Structure formats: structure tokens, C-alpha cells
Structure 1
Amino acid sequence: MSQYLHINRSFKSLFSLVFIIVIGFVFTRCNEVDLNDDPEEETEVNIYKVATVNIITANNAEIESKEIYTDCSVEVRSENPKWNYSGTAKIRGRGNSTWLWYPKKPFRIKLNEKASVLGLGENRDWVLLADYRDPTHLMNTFVFTVGQTLEMPFVNNIRYVEVNLNGEYIGVYTLTEQVEEGESRVAIDEDNGLLLSLDVDDGPELAPEENDNFWSAVYHMPVCVKNPDIISNAQLEHIKSELALLEKAIKDANYSEVEKLLDIPSFIDFMLIQELVYNVEVAAPRSMYLFKDVNSKWTMGPLWDFDAGFDFDWGTMYTGHNYFMNHRELVLGTSPLHHTGGYVVPGFFTDLFKSRQFVAEYKTRWLAIEDQIMADCWPATYAFAEEFSVAMARDAERWPIGKDNETEILRMQQWLSNRINYLNTVINNYPDGTN
């Protein structure tokens, strides 16, 4: 009996030891799984994957207007099951030249209820950019990546999707946020925060029927109020006077006064990016945003719409997709204040170059970021291209433009590298200012 008890106790001890080892192993593996399933790490992997968006309009109606919404259902399918979505919405066309000139149309979607789409912050309003003119499908993506790297206050995110509309494949699109006030958008007060667009197309000359636009008091720029959504004439005059205070300070190049009214670092980053990608739309201006929260400074951004940059050949703007011919073209010129060798852009963007302090800070900021552009921003951009190559072949078959996507991406990379080297000399030799 004693021998039996001894064996039994030994067996129990052995069993306990094995049990502890097994439990420890399981616990360790569970922790490893938890680490591997970390949401942030998962997001980093999946943002580059191409998802699928299926849109069915009511009665299979065609989308013929960029003013009138059509009821629809939207289904999003991703390799990440947590990002799958299905719901009802409304859809319409969007854009100006991109809507009028090109067969592959961009769209705006308004969900009936707020939702996160492909891991992005909850909202009702989403945009599908067609990128028909851009043979790389990376121009906006690159600029947004630069803006995020520089930690600008709000920068759009990009998700690539293949879209089926009423059962018909219509190609690769970039899904992104609508530029607007919102918690996961431009985070300003809904009623009293200001979001303005400096844009010819939305201004009083080309949109005279609207009651939310005006000519700026000092620089006579076309301005459209994006937030607040509904404004009275008195509010419009107040907004105009608020902007005029900033305009006057800039025109005088009164650095200390401008610093009270404007987030100068955001302005510098904003202008460096415009020149980096040769975005000539500064001159019009088009798609230039700035915002101001209650009791806060004006801030430049969000960044938007860059398929007119990268040395786009405007001679073929209706049908062409020609870019990257000359990396030495300049927007601000070799002397931004005098527009020497550049475009005559509104003085709002260049009069600060009168200030010695501003010029010094501008040059210093360029020196601080120039190496990041190709070392960090380009690889992060190219990671999307590595994932969308198969989908882009399908898009090219659906929308043949006579350009090879992979070749154009390599040309874009070389153009950017050459341009950065060129801008090093140009910016370093900007005149030092007079004030």
C-alpha cells in the first residue's frame, strides 16, 4: 500500500509539473498571439492592400450629376475582416476638370449613417478619386505621405480599392476623406471654426450663384467658405474681415504680427510641398485650404489635389497623361518675392519672403526635411505600388491611356530625386529679405 501511495504521489507531482508547463506554454503563446494581433500593427500591414468596393444604385441608375445624389448600397470587402462594411448611402459625381474631361469619373459618397471605412475614422462623407490623369496613381498619395511625415495638422489618408458599379468593373480608385470639419477630419468647432478654400472654381467669378464665397479684401483671391456650412451675410463679412487681418499682416511682412495670426511652420511646410511637386495651381489659386479654430491661429491645409503638379503637360490636358519632363521648372521662382523665374502667384503666398526671419526659417526647414523625402516618404509611398500592381493591370485594361504604370512610377522617382537636388541650390540661394 505504501508503495502504491508513493507511486501515486509521484504521478500527481509529475502531472502537476506537466500541467504547469503546459499552462505556461499556452499563456506564452496567447501573449504572442495578442502581440501579433495588435490593431496598430495590423493596420500598418493592411493599409497597402487593395480592397473591393461594390456599389449598386437604386434601379441601377447612372450617376450623371455632381449636384444631385442617387440612392445606393455600398459594400466594402478587405483582407482584414474587421474592415468589411455594408450599408446604404447616396452617391454623386465630384470634381471639376476631372468630372468634365475624363471618362473615368470620380465620386462622392455620403453614408446614411457614420461608419469607419477601411480603418479610417468614422464619418458619413467619403471620396473616390479616379486618378485618371495620373499615370502613376501615386501623386496625391505621395503628397499626403509627405504631409503626414512632416506632422501637418490634418492630412488625408489613402486606401486603394477596386470599384464595381452596378456589377460593372470601373477600375482602381483611391478612397479618402472628404475635406471638411469633423472629429477625424479638420477638427475645428462646427459652428464657429473656419475652413476656407482659395479656389477659382468655387469663387465668386465662376460660381456667382453661391452665397458662401467672396473676393479677399487685400489680395483679391477667390474664397469659398467650407465651414460653417450655412452662413448669413453678416457672418460672411465677419469671415472676410478675419482673413483681411491676416492678409494685411502678410502684405506688410510684419513677422511679429503674422506670428500672432498664422501658424508659420504649417505655412512653410505647405509652401515647400507646393514647390517640391511643382504644383502650379497655387497661381490660380485652386484647392488651397486654410482653417482657423476659435481663439486659434490660421493654419494652412489640408493638402489637396496634386495631379496638376509633377511637371504636367498642360498642352495635352484634355487627353494627355504626360509628366516628369523637366525637374527645373519652378512655381515660386528663384526669388519668390519678385516671382523671378516662376509663376506670378498671389502675394499672400510670397510677401513673407520680405522678412529676413521668415526666409531664414524657410531655408532651415528645407535643410531639415530634404533627406526625409526620398529616404522615408518615397518608400512609404512605393509600398502602395507594390501592392496595387496586379489591380493596376486590370485598371489599364479597363482604361487604356497609353502609359505603363510601373515605368511612370520609376520616372516619378527619378524626377523627384533630381528635383530635390535642384531645389537644394535654389532654396539655399533665395534672397535674404529686406525687413
Structure 2
Amino acid sequence: MKKQLLLFATCVALLSGCKDNDENGRPDSPATQPAITAFVFEAARNPQTLIMDIKCAIDGNEISGLIPYATDLDKLVPSFKGRFAQISVNHTVQQSGVSENDFTKEVVYTVMDSIGQTVDYKVNISCFEGAESGPAITSFVFEAAKNPLYLLSDVECTIDGTSISGLIPYVTDIDKLVPTFLGRFDRISVGKVSQQSGVTANDFTKEVVYTVTDSKGTSAEYKVNLFNFTGLPVVTVETDQRAAITSKENYVNGTLTISKTADFKAGYEGAMRIRGRGNATFGYPKKPYKIKLDEKSEILGMPSDKEWVLLANYCDKSLLRTSIAFKLSELMSMPWTPRTEFVELFLNGRYEGNYLLGEHVKVSKNRLNADDDGYLIERDGYYQQEPLYFMTDRGNPFTFKHPDTDDITQQQVAYIKDYVNKFEYVLYSQNFMDPEEGYRKYIDVDSWVNWYLVQETLCNKDTNYYFFKKNAQPDTKLGMSPVWDFEWSLGIGWNYTEPARHDVLVQRSLYFDRLMQDPYFAGLVKERWKTLKSEYLPQLYAYINETAQKISVSQRANFTKWNILNTPVSVEVITLGTWENEVQYAKDFLTRRVQWLDSAIPIW
């Protein structure tokens, strides 16, 4: 019996000395062998470099971790657990959650147990593929709490590479704003002035460059641009003594200022004169204007000149029809397409709405290119309001854009009048189709074809007819350019009583009725239409969508100022209630118009 008890006690002793089992009931590698069982980079221990905990994978004696964004790896603090009495890196004892190391390269951790056994663990940490490490700004916000005098709510900026931009959707002072920022850096400065997040103010009326520097001395520059109101350039017109602009003939002196934006880094400020412009449009509450700068200047990336226009687009509740027409003109390679940009207009301290600031119709090197002895004339229904005009034998009145009526001679007037009379006589003669002695002798046919297709594609009932002749030499012909005036296009009603139709021709008057009787001219129209439909229309739809997005904030301010979305304006018959409906209506009308033209043009 004693022998049996002795045997049982021996077995118990042996079992108590056996290896521990792991959590799954399997025996560990020798229990006495030191090991790392968990290796984590906690965001709380690395607040400047991590935004989340990074749990590393342990595979044998290899530890690896992936940080899914760009950050510095040279001063990371890991937290670790395991079976060891001591852990070190290059004989330097490590403390979990305290000791930092440079993980831009492999780090070897040595764990040692109480009897001196050691095991090496190789730790490799990487950032997400394609991510960049180094100094960076990762967040840039203007908090209302830090800027109570100027902001109503927080303005979170967008960071794109090293460009930071923000939009404050109302007018406020931005010359003393305080930003709050986060990032990977030891130091941040503007010029030589150190910056403190949530404390240091700067003047954001101009671009501000922040320099961030890490512990290695590596620096990066971030350019910060902040914009007011809707994101469009803000045009401010101040007339002397805030005089009212009541005339289309008499200029008022003043100052023009244009703000910078994300698209236009350079603003403008200079002396100018301003007057009204337009015919019927100057009678609307939202008025168009003509501006003449004291000195030639580039404006919003458009070539330098003195003369500019502000188009109100009051009748066009999409605000897009004129810019759509200019885009199609550009795609059709018209001799000259006026350049324009959408802006916000403030006149003598009062908001006037969304406008198109653009190039005035004139002859110059950067606009319609004609010589000193060339011509730019308009078939003008308001000819009696102009200081000089001529009437053709067929009763068509023409006024002069070039030469200037102050400089033109009687010989010049007689020349162009005689030229147009000869063209009209030949066009309506029996021999008008003759390629040598018919109308082709007098006109630049390609520009006429392109002009006609722009008008019919956009179903433009009421347009301006501009004609140019580069010079008075016998080998130059009468061309058509630019396209102008599209507020009554793309489905805006024409007769005050019924909606516009998409299935009628609108430009068969003034010469084109006769021109389309010539199979040669009609054939050119048909061929050009194929290119317009296949190549240019997809680009035009893309432009409409992009531009609508660009002015989507602006239109809200515009129609708050001009509450007309439910009110018929001018020849408009139907109202659609919202700007979005107006834009979509214009697009839908264009689609129906193109479908009808595609069926009609082949049988012309």
C-alpha cells in the first residue's frame, strides 16, 4: 500500500512539472522560452503621428505592421506584452508604452527570461503603399469659436497635396482669421513667425504659405487660399460719390476690384468708367453694364484690354444659355469667341447677383482680328439709336463696331455699303449658285455655316448678326462672327402666349433662306452637322453639367436677390420654380432639338 501511495505522489509531481498548455489546450513551445505575444502602436501613445491603433501581426519571430496612411515612422512608441523578464533594443532596455524607436528601418527587439534565455524579434513597420511620410498638415479648420467676430460656423478646408483651400459662404472680413490645424511636424511657421493652432491669426485676403518642419529638419510648404461668398470671383464696383448708373451713353467714373479665387490667383484693382449697355435688357431690373478700364489689363485670365462687359442674364433663369452658346462657338472654331467668366457683382455696396464678366465685342489683336482698314458691322434692329448706319438696297440696316464712328471716313462707309449691296444683289439673282461669280465670291462660307448651326442647334430666335471683313483688299471676304445674345434660346418662349417649340427653324431669314437653296451650301451644313453631333455635343453636355456645378452656390444668392423663379419674365410663358428645373429644362430642350434636327437636316 505504501508503494502505491509513493507511486501516485511521484506521478502528481511529474504532472505538476509538465509544460503549461496554451489557451486552446495545446502545449506551448517550451514554457520557459521568452516571447512577445502582443505588439501594438496605440494612438493614445502616439498622438502626433497616429489617428488609430495599429495592431501588428506576429509570425514566429517576425512582427509586421501596416499604417494605412502617410505618417512619420521615426519616433513611434509601441505597447507590448509577452513572457520575458527584460526586453531591449541594442542593449537599451525598453518600456512598453514609453520607449520610442525609429521604425523607418527594421528594429530588433531582444526578449530575455529569468534564467537568461533570449529570443530576437524582427519588427518591420510600413505605411500604406503610395503614401508619403514626412512633415504634413493633415487638418486645417477655421473654427467659429476661435473667430467669433467673423464666422457663423466652422469652415473646414480641403487639402489637395500641398494646396489648402476653403470657402466661407457669405461676405465677411478674412484679414484676421485664426486657423486650427493638425499634422505631422515639430514646427510650423508663416515666414519667420511661429504658428500656434487655434491662436495665431493671419491675413487670408491673400495666399498664406505655412511651412511645416519635422524632427529631421525636413520641410514642406502649404499654400492656403480662403475665399468668400460663393467661390466665384467677387467683382466690386464703386462709383465716385456712389453715383447711379442711369445711361447707356454717359460713363460714370469709379473703381473696379476683383477678388482672387481657387481658379484665379490674381485679383485686380484699378480705376475705370462704367455705363449701361444692351437694348431691351437695360430696361430690366437686373441691368447689364459696359466697363472701360483706365489702363489695359488682363482680367481673370482673359487677354489684356480696356473694354469689358457685365452680362446680367436676367431673362435666362438657368443663367447658362450665353455661356453654352460661347462654348459651342469655341468647339465649332468660330473666328472669335468672346471669353467670359461667372462672377458675383457688388455695385456701390449692394449685391446685384450672378453675372458674366467678359470681352466686349470689338476688333483687336486678342479679340476679332481685323486690320485697321477692316470692318465689323452689325445688322441692327436698333440702328436709329446709333450715330452712324447704312441701309442696303434690300432694306437691311447696318451699324458699325469697327472702324469707330468717330474715326470712319465717308469712303470707308461707301466701300462696305457697296460690298454688302453687291453680295445681296448676287445672292438673290438667278446666277447666285455660280461658284466663281455667285455669292461665294463675297462671303467666307465656312464661318457662315458654323454661325448658322450654332443658332439652329440652340434654337435661338432672337440673335445679333455680326459680320466682319479683315480688310478692304479684294481677296478678303465677309465672314460671320461672333455669336451673341442667347437669352431667348433653348426653349424660352417667343410670343408671350405659348411655350417654345423645338421642331421649327428659327434662322431662315436674313440670307439663309436663299443660301439653303444652294445644294453646295446645304451640303456643307449637313457635313458640319455630323461633326457637331458626334464630337461637339458630348463635350457641350459635359460643359453644361460642370458649369452648373460651378455656379450652384451662386444661383442661390442670385435668386434670393431676384425672386423670379415663379414669375414669367419677358417672353417666358412657363415657370419651373427652381433653378435646377430650369437647367434640366434647357438640357432636355437641347436633346429634343438635336433629335429633331438630326431627322430634318438630311432632307434639306
TM-score by length of 2: 0.57
Does structure 1 residue 212 correspond to structure 2 residue 388?
yes
Q: Residues 211 and 95 of structure 1: is their aligned pair in 2 closer, same or farther, counting only changes over 3 Å?
A: closer
Q: Look up the SS of the partner of 1:73 in the other structure.
A: strand
Return the alpha-carbon distance in structure 1 between the equivalents of residues 466 and 538 of structure 2.
Answer: 28
Letter in 1 for 2:416: I
Counterparts of 1:86-97 in structure 2, within 5 Å, are: 86-97=269-280
Return the alpha-carbon distance in structure 2 between the equivalents of residues 414 and 330 of structure 1.
Answer: 18
Aligned length: 359
**CA offset at residue 265 of structure 1?**
1.0
Q: Which residue of 1 aligns with 2:598?
A: 424
> Could you give the per-residue CA deviations for residues 136-186 of structure 1, whole angstroms, max 9, x where no partner exists?
011111110001011111001220000111111111101110000111111
Does structure 1 residue 69 correspond to structure 2 residue 245?
no
**CA offset at residue 381 of structure 1?**
3.0
**CA offset at residue 216 of structure 1?**
1.7
Return the alpha-carbon distance in structure 1 between the equivalents of residues 260 and 231 of structure 2.
Answer: 8
**CA offset at residue 309 of structure 1?**
2.0
Q: Which residue of 1 aligns with 2:402?
A: 227
Q: Which of residues 493, 505, 508 is equivalent to 1:330? A: 505
Instruction: Report if the CA contact (8 A) 1:253-1:351 is conserved.
Output: no
RMSD: 2.3
Return the alpha-carbon distance in structure 1 between the equivalents of residues 250 and 302 of structure 2.
Answer: 26
> Could you give the per-residue CA deviations for residues 335-360 of structure 1, whole angstroms, max 9, x where no partner exists?
x5xxxxxxxx12x2221222222221
Letter in 2 for 1:390: V
Return the alpha-carbon distance in structure 2 between the equivalents of residues 211 and 253 of structure 1.
Answer: 36
Q: Residues 49 and 220 of structure 1: is their aligned pair in 2 closer, same or farther, counting only changes over 3 Å?
A: farther
**CA offset at residue 327 of structure 1?**
1.6
Q: Which residue of 2 aligns with 1:400?
A: 563
Return the alpha-carbon distance in structure 2 between the equivalents of residues 163 and 56 of structure 1.
Answer: 11
Q: Which residue of 2 aligns with 1:29?
A: none
Q: Which of residues 460, 465, 470 is equivalent to 1:288? A: 465
Q: Look up the SS of the partner of 2:400 in the other structure.
A: strand
> Could you give the per-residue CA deviations for residues 181-215 of structure 1, whole angstroms, max 9, x where no partner exists?
111111111x31100101111x2xx33xx442011
> Could you give the per-residue CA deviations for residues 232-276 of structure 1, whole angstroms, max 9, x where no partner exists?
333211110122232233322333343333211110111111111
Q: Look up the SS of the partner of 2:436 in the other structure.
A: helix
> Could you give the per-residue CA deviations for residues 269-305 of structure 1, whole angstroms, max 9, x where no partner exists?
1111111122222xxxx51101011232211110100
Does structure 1 residue 385 correspond to structure 2 residue 544?
no
Return the alpha-carbon distance in structure 1 between the equivalents of residues 422 and 544 of structure 2.
Answer: 38
Q: Look up the SS of the partner of 1:256 in the other structure.
A: coil
Instruction: Report if the CA contact (8 A) 2:459-2:593 is conserved.
Output: no
TM-score by length of 1: 0.78
Q: Residues 426 and 81 of structure 1: is their aligned pair in 2 closer, same or farther, counting only changes over 3 Å?
A: closer
Does structure 1 residue 363 correspond to structure 2 residue 526?
yes
State which structure, 1 or 2, has the greater radius of gyration over its C-alpha atoms: 2
Return the alpha-carbon distance in structure 1 between the equivalents of residues 591 and 358 of structure 2.
Answer: 27
Letter in 2 for 1:308: W
Return the alpha-carbon distance in structure 2 between the equivalents of residues 247 and 366 of structure 1.
Answer: 26
Return the alpha-carbon distance in structure 2 between the equivalents of residues 91 and 366 of structure 1.
Answer: 41
Counterparts of 1:166-181 in structure 2, within 5 Å, are: 166-181=348-363
Q: Which residue of 1 aligns with 2:266?
A: 83
Q: Residues 211 and 90 of structure 1: is their aligned pair in 2 closer, same or farther, counting only changes over 3 Å?
A: closer
Return the alpha-carbon distance in structure 2 between the equivalents of residues 270 and 255 of structure 1.
Answer: 21
Q: Which of residues 372, 381, 388 is equivalent to 1:200? A: 381
Does structure 1 residue 306 correspond to structure 2 residue 486?
yes
> Could you give the per-residue CA deviations for residues 313-351 of structure 1, whole angstroms, max 9, x where no partner exists?
23449xxxx96x53213215xxx5xxxxxxxx12x2221
Q: Residues 144 and 81 of structure 1: is their aligned pair in 2 closer, same or farther, counting only changes over 3 Å?
A: closer
Letter in 2 for 1:62: A
Letter in 2 for 1:88: A
Q: Which residue of 1 aligns with 2:587?
A: 413
Return the alpha-carbon distance in structure 2 between the equivalents of residues 164 and 272 of structure 1.
Answer: 36
Q: Residues 245 and 315 of structure 1: is their aligned pair in 2 closer, same or farther, counting only changes over 3 Å?
A: closer
Letter in 2 for 1:72: G
Q: Which of residues 411, 415, 420 is equivalent to 1:243? A: 420
Letter in 2 for 1:222: P
Q: Which residue of 2 aligns with 1:254?
A: 434
Does structure 1 residue 269 correspond to structure 2 residue 446?
no
Instruction: Report if the CA contact (8 A) 1:275-1:331 is conserved.
Output: yes
Q: Look up the SS of the partner of 2:291 in the other structure.
A: strand
Letter in 2 for 1:242: Y
Q: Look up the SS of the partner of 1:237 in the other structure.
A: helix
Return the alpha-carbon distance in structure 2 between the equivalents of residues 83 and 412 of structure 1.
Answer: 33
Task: Give the percent of matched residue pairs that are identical in Structure 1 and Structure 2.
Answer: 30
Does structure 1 residue 353 correspond to structure 2 residue 516?
yes
Letter in 2 for 1:271: Y
Instruction: Report if the CA contact (8 A) 1:55-1:74 is conserved.
Output: yes
Return the alpha-carbon distance in structure 2 between the equivalents of residues 169 and 244 of structure 1.
Answer: 48
Return the alpha-carbon distance in structure 2 between the equivalents of residues 269 and 65 of structure 1.
Answer: 35
Q: Residues 408 and 372 of structure 1: is their aligned pair in 2 closer, same or farther, counting only changes over 3 Å?
A: farther
**CA offset at residue 95 of structure 1?**
0.5
Return the alpha-carbon distance in structure 2 between the equivalents of residues 394 and 150 of structure 1.
Answer: 33
Return the alpha-carbon distance in structure 1 between the equivalents of residues 231 and 331 of structure 2.
Answer: 20
Letter in 2 for 1:246: F
Q: Which residue of 2 aligns with 1:111?
A: 293
Q: Look up the SS of the partner of 1:121 in the other structure.
A: strand
> Could you give the per-residue CA deviations for residues 213-239 of structure 1, whole angstroms, max 9, x where no partner exists?
01123x321100111102233321111
Q: Which residue of 2 aligns with 1:36?
A: none
Instruction: Report if the CA contact (8 A) 2:328-2:540 is conserved.
Output: yes
Letter in 2 for 1:145: K
Q: Which residue of 2 aligns with 1:98?
A: 281
**CA offset at residue 54 of structure 1?**
0.5
Instruction: Report if the CA contact (8 A) 1:212-1:236 is conserved.
Output: no
Unaligned runs of 5+ in 2: 1-160, 163-229, 566-576
Quick one: higher RCO (CA 8 Å, sep 6+), 1 or 2? 1
**CA offset at residue 83 of structure 1?**
2.7
